[in-house]
Structure 1
Amino acid sequence: MAFEFDFNHAFKWCAIYISKGLRIVRLHGIWPDGRCTCGDPECRVGGSKQRNCGKHPVGLEWGDRWARSEDDLLAWCDGVPFNVGVVLGKEGGVIDNEDDSPEATAFRESLGLHELITPSWTSGKSTHQLTRWHDSLEKCGGVQKPGGLECRLGAGGRQIQSVLPPSWHWSGVQYRWKPDLSLDEVEVADTPRTLLVQICNAAEAGGGGNSGGHKYHGPLVFREVHDGEGRHGALLMWAWNKIVNDRFPLAPERRAVLTQEILDANEKYIKPQKTRDEALQIINSCFEHYRKKQEAGWSPTPTDITQEAIESETVKLEETINPEEAVAVVGLEAHGLEPYQVGEIRAYRVGSWSIEMIKGDPVEIVLVVPQWKPTPCGGRVNMTLDTFRSAAKVASTVFNATHRVILDGDSKKWVATWKGMDASKKTGGVSIPGIMEQLMARKKREHDIQVGSASKRYAELAGYILKAFRRATTPKDEERPEPNESGRPCWVAPDELWFQWGKVWEEISSAHDVAVGEKNKIRNRLLEIMHAKDLIHKRHRFPSGRLEYVVFTREWVAALELLASGDDGRPVKGEIDLVFPKTENHSPSTVHDTEAVVA
């Protein structure tokens, strides 16, 4: 039934939002007959103010009256239905982008935002994405619409909010989180640099109107350069401008494209042109400079792509780069695959790649790539058999695990590389085996990982949780022990490990291929072992309100140990060391005037 209001359901989600640090405000709701609770006779379904029905906040100065705790939420239980909004902007810490037209959807996809892992929900006819506030947006106003994509910012002191689930849209559709992308399942992502650039460009172009062009800040027009030594500086500046304005310049496919574009500029505009070797030395020096800055913790912002910043950076670049270090690495061979030619087609052998098979329930494959050892996955990417058979899923899983490797920059080429190609004129009449087939043919049985004959998948999942528990902290103040406000595991008491179930699984999912519903399966299996109806839940009061945690005693940890071992007593590969380190919690809450633990 449309507009059916459930306070308990709304309270549950609002409590989650508060625990995640969002500023939640009460919006007018919609009565079952379609009237807005604001009382305006035209603010109703079918009225002249229909578009505002159920979307505007209750009262004045609402941006300063956001709910601080669950106690504030309980005060909303007055028999009147309400919707829920999140305060946007610098104070709220988040912004929202919404595609309410095909053009906006296409623009979002052109920026790669449709692949962004961040809280996302659907409303009447559009999809919203929540991302973190960035200070470069300070002068961009309340709302900007680059490419038709409505970006609700709340900048410049403007009070802006967006409606969140489980609110009701005046069309009779309930706001809902997209599968696996609720705020309870994923963290709010940083706003991608590509979107920041487009928002700033739209603001500079004249406020909130549509601005569909992908514009560069900095030296936009590259004209002919004839003066001797000036040729070097001009090409260097153009190369850095192209690289710093790109989404993923170090991805092999993007690096190849950028390299060719800069070489073309050298040929067209530099008079006389630099030799190919000289131009490549400049280009590769810029890539190396970008890589070193990134490894030092830097990430580009809109201020880094102004002309002044680009000119300043190229001066530093010439002073710090060693030309001998500027080695060009372009293409899939950068990741350890070996290229070879078949007719007109550039094909690949597995090179340094290999796979291991985890004989669990279900079976899981580990893709082992030595070149990825410096990444978060340590060179080992776990995936299901279903993922292994899909080129697109493999590329997505690899990117999620490494946080940097993009295999499908050229999606058609990657599919052909992974799956292989049938015989054709271009291949000289021979078929080309894909990397997937080659890896299976090369796999050695002795490299398979046995995890026990029963409850094999439970063993793997329990092992993942135990590894997360090994990083548990202890309270800084032993007299007033507190859990981690972030939700990460903490030994609040010698026999009490406090953590947020969703936070632990979020970190596990970033490194392992976890199927939808598996975290509930492992939870139910634990309850069976412990003969319990539910996990132990406790709450702790912080300045922002109360947060809920799961609490494991040593008995619950022992139950996980049991799951992590197979029937033959052997644990999953990488035996779990349950001597938990005494890591001090360096960022506890500063509450000192309330009880340490609130059940």
Structure 2
Amino acid sequence: MTQSPLQTALAYAELGLAVIPLCGPGCRHPRCKSPGKRPYDLLARRHMEGWQHRGVPSPEEIERWLKAPGAERANIGCLTGRVSGIVAVDVDGPAGEALLTRLAGTDLPATWTYRTGRENGGRRLVFRYPESGRIPSRLIEAGGGTVEILSDGRQMVLPPSVHPSGRVYAWLPGRDPWAFGPPAPAPRWLLELAEGGGEGHRRTPEEWARIIREGAEPGARHPTLTQLAGHLLGKRVDPAVTVELLQAWNEARCRPPKPREEVERIVRDLWMKDQAKPRPAADKPQGAAGRKAWNDIARLIDWGAFWADYTGQRVPPGIGRLATSCPFCGAAGGFELHLDTGAFRCGGCHIWGHGLDLARHLCRAPTHRALAILDHYTRKEVPA
């Protein structure tokens, strides 16, 4: 009797892979745009949310999956990245193979490899995740070919899952985990791509326009949102603005849209990672009184700007305009701050702007408490 895909779950889990059930190739859920590829909760009988945070399942959990209705029709996948100790390279047909040759040259060691269900003969190579550092997920496009790196926050379909076309995902001879042994370490070219070097490092404006225009299906939504967020934040777009832009794109172009809180989490994680990078020491405001005054102003600006932007309400009555000495030129009474909108200007040095622009100047940081305050206001709470 032929073994169903999910019946291989225990064998994969014993390898340390964070396996996960996927919907079957005949999934008829009206919002499922990728039958056979989306994580599926067999016990709740619906597509799974929050699967990115799962780990290696226990034998008892796998046993419950196998006893659930519809288990025989389910596919099997696993999380990629550090949780499973692997990173996969997805190669899309002949054009993808040509691009892989340009990226890797001769640095392509033998490792776990299987055939995917694509009509054009795609394959997936699986390498060992590095013990130190990390490899981010990313999509590389050039010359009409695509090579996709599946790492943290992603999942991949595993053999012997069935593609909607009826083709079966299958390990190449001698390249399955049990015959081959541990996967090869991630090669140097892959590590260099993770560090931002190599081909595909910079997208052209036309490529960004295509991504924005075409949107993303399940399986590509999370990495595409991450790439767009990284691109915007890398251009020093304010993280709060980045969140709003991605929420609009998510609602209009992702099929189906990701939960709003997940979009916020993507931006927050990237911004926090950027904040953790070492930076040259910046000049600080002189004197404790000066530092307190500047931080107080920045806090008030954050309050007014975010209250207006994220709740659609004005700040409480009685707090409208603050006239004080300009923290930049020192002109007495020349600096006006409108707390209801976060707008500011100085009649002395003619500096002007809105909300967090001033906070960045005052506190010498990319954005002063922006995402912490965003957390409060998306929950409709007033920050302390």
TM over 0.5: no
Higher normalized contact order (CA 8 Å, seq sep 6+, divided by chain length): 2
TM-score (norm 2): 0.43
TM-score (norm 1): 0.29
